[in-house]
Chains A and B, each alone.
Chain A
Amino acid sequence: MNRGAVQPSDEELVASVLEGDREGFGVLVERYQGRLVNYLFRLLRNAEDAHDLAQEVLVKVYQVLDRYDPQYKFSTWLFRIAQNAAIDQIRRRRLKLVSLRIEDDDGEGRDWELPAPERGPYGDLRNRERAGAIQRAIDGLPWEYRELILLRHYGELPYEEIARLKQMPLGTVKNKLFRGRQMLKEKLQSFLTD
């Protein structure tokens, strides 16, 4: 094996955790926390809930780590669990989500905690506008496009992993991502010239 200064792969880390190295799981958490939280945030539309569910998912993953089959990518496995957990939570909160959707119309009632590249009162306003527009654009996508866009852009999964996770042909994944991006582009047109 070519180890040297190269970071251990996910699969190697899983193996070391199973041998008793709990810190190895900490490395996996660090590696995936950003992608996982952001993916869940876009699905749940609430930062607090996204963090809670991400934590729950990671604990669940740890609990069943000995059942992980290394012939699959760890990220595929992780995001499948995350996606199922998110869908489950969305179903349970359906009524609440419907009420949030009504609040979206005036742009209020959202939990926006996004990094602010623009400073000052005008910048803050602009950032909030943009954040709201991005979420609305994502929410406005049909589910079949939306989930692929989230897996690609926030989960940072390659085409092959998305195809495996969604059990779709690779060509379908490419096509849906293409169409999803076209829709996003149209919805975010006014922010693309910034």
Chain B
Amino acid sequence: MNERPDHTHYRELLNLELDGCLNVEQRARLAAHLAACPECLAERGQLRAVSTLLERSALAVQPDFKQRVMASLPAAGWESRHPRTWSFPVAALVVLLAAGASLLGAGSARSGGGGAGSAYGLLAALGGLLRAALVAGVGVTAASWRWSEMFVEQLLASPMSLTMFGVFVVCLNLVLVSLIRRSTGRHGSSAAAAAPGAGLGAAARRGSHRGGRATRSGRGR
């Protein structure tokens, strides 16, 4: 019997061959078939021609494309609204706590002495704060005034206290700004967060809505 070879099967193999996806066994099988089948050999030629045709029809990318992309990247990008690590907020918090402790320590050292005494003074100051808070139970206003009085007194005690207070305020602001930005960034791009899933596609669609005109006008400049 003259059995007709299954050309469809070999044509599928020809497609895999075109994409470099044949394994050794398939390659050998295809080579053996092509040696005896001019029809499939012609098919291979045509498939390669189609592939070459598509390749040759490739559009040349505009020479300044990369420059345009790099120039249109947001100034700070995700970095500004979403710090990747907690190192900055943590560092700011550590400085904040150190500055706060120094403030309390300076005040207590003034009243109690140095060394172990300053540690005791620190605890005493904290105790004072707690006491003030308890007093606040009786009269919030009175407690606030007492705390304010203690605070201002400590602050004016030495230039060092004043400096540490400045550092304290700056760090507190940095921490707050950093946390606010982190929170805003998360809300702003939460839909884009999904890895290659449907959510990301939705984010891409929103992005193209927003950026379309800006891109064109950006190039015009």
Contacts and interface: CB of A to CB of B under 8 A. Distances in A.
B216 interface: yes
Given A56-B211, A67-B189, A115-B58, A51 B65 contact: yes
Interface residues of B, dominant DSSP: helix
B205 A88 contact: yes
Contacts of B209: 88
A159 B19 contact: yes
B59 A55 contact: no
Interface residues of B, number: 55
Given A80-B201, A88-B205, A26 B66 contact: yes
A178 B73 contact: no
A70 to B, nearest CB: 9
Contacts of A64: 78, 189, 192-193, 200, 203
Measured as residues with beta carbon below 8 angstroms from the partner, the interface class of chain A is: 35 or more
Interface string B177-216: 0000000000001001111100011111101110110011
Interface of A: 18, 20, 22, 25-26, 29-30, 33-34, 37-38, 41, 47, 50-60, 62-69, 71-72, 76-77, 80-85, 87-89, 113-115, 117, 130-131, 134-135, 152-154, 158-159, 164-165, 174-175, 177-178, 181-182, 184-185, 188, 191-192
Given A53-B208, A63-B192, 6 more contacts: A29-B69, A51-B62, A55-B69, A82-B204, A88-B204, A188-B53
